[in-house]
Each structure stands twice: as structure tokens, then as C-alpha cells.
């Protein structure tokens, strides 16, 4: 049964449970903290408005993540965001990580330099802890395609890490 609307308490529970993960995912996509906060708010606004469209074929986490990714892609497509991001291209993820460990921040920089498809699967698999099946559902690709992208991303990262150590 699909719910047509959601109570304020249920909505607050969704935000409490998934808010931090969604904000982190928005930041990883947009590389700008203020834009990420806006995208996170827009994501949850969309969740609230479209809760009646949620089909229980997937988990609520998968559905919210898909909305988040689409919201971030819309932000990246907007001309305003392109100007902001181009002017601020040197922002790296470690700026917003509390007490960064050098190795982690360097790895995050390498991850952020991957192409979009590789970066998406790496972030979802390792940072959002989605299974390959869930990632396939979110991105509308096959599970084997997810595995291929993960493999290629790992190979690129391995080459970059080995190059950095030399």
C-alpha cells in the first residue's frame, strides 16, 4: 500500500535517520557545502511532496538516495551552479572532514578526480555502504555494470596511489 502523505513525526524520523548521509552524498557530488545543504533540503522537500509515489519495490533509503542523486545532477546542470563550481573548483572534500587523517584526505582527493560514473559507484559502495544490487537499482544499470565500474575505479585509484607513493 502506498502512503499518500506522511505525518510530521514520520518525516522528522526520515530526516533524523537519513539526513546526514544525504548531506554527505550531496557534498560529494557538488563539492560545495552551501550547495550541498540546499540540495539536501530540496531532496527532503521532494521526498515529502512525492511520498505517495514511493513504491515498496525498493527500500526507502534507496528511493531517497535516488532522489538525492537526481537533485544533485539537476544542480550540476543549472547554469548558476556551473558558475559557482567553476569558480571554486579547487575545493576538496577534506575541507569539511573533521580532523582529517592525511591518507584519507588524499584518497578522497583521488576519488573526487575519478570520472563521474566511477566516482558514483565508489562513493555509494564504500561511503554510503550500498550493495551492488542497490547501486544498480539507483543508477538504473545492471549489477554487472556496477561491478565493472567498481573494478575500473579501483584500478584507476591503485595506479594513482602507487604513483603518489613513488
Q: Tell me: the pLDDT tens digits for 48-72?
A: 999 888 887 778 999 999 999 999 9
Residue with cell 544533485: 72
3-state helix, strand, coil in the chain (%, to 5): 80, 0, 20
CA distance 109 to 40: 22
pLDDT in tens, 90-145: 454 445 545 433 367 777 888 888 999 999 999 889 888 889 999 999 999 999 99
Which domains can be identified in the chain, with CATH numbers?
1-91 (1.10.1740.10), 93-166 (1.10.10.10)
Angle at which helices 60-77 and 132-139 cross, to 10°: 50
Nearest Cα to 10, choosing from 53, 55, 47?
A: 47
- Phi, psi dihedrals of residue 54, rounded to the nearest 5°: -70, 125
Q: Are 130 and 65 in contact (CB under 8 A)?
A: yes
Q: Are 32 and 84 in contact (CB under 8 A)?
A: yes
pTM above 0.85, yes or no: no
Amino acid at each position: 500500500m502506498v502512503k499518500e502523505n506522511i505525518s510530521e513525526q514520520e518525516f522528522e524520523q526520515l530526516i533524523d535517520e537519513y539526513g546526514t548521509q544525504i548531506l554527505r552524498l550531496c557534498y560529494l557530488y557538488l563539492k560545495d557545502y552551501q550547495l550541498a545543504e540546499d540540495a539536501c533540503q530540496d531532496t527532503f522537500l521532494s521526498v515529502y511532496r512525492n511520498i505517495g509515489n514511493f513504491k515498496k519495490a525498493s527500500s526507502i533509503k534507496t528511493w531517497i538516495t535516488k532522489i538525492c542523486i537526481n537533485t544533485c545532477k539537476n544542480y550540476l546542470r543549472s547554469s548558476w551552479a556551473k558558475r559557482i563550481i567553476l569558480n571554486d573548483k579547487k575545493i576538496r572534500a577534506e575541507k569539511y572532514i573533521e580532523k582529517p587523517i592525511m591518507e584519507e584526505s588524499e584518497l578522497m582527493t583521488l576519488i573526487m578526480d575519478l570520472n563521474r560514473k566511477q566516482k558514483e559507484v565508489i562513493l555509494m559502495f564504500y561511503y554510503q555502504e550500498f550493495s551492488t544490487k542497490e547501486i544498480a537499482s539507483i543508477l538504473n544499470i545492471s549489477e554487472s555494470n556496477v561491478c565493472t565500474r567498481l573494478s575500473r575505479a579501483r584500478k584507476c585509484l591503485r595506479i594513482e596511489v602507487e604513483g603518489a607513493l613513488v
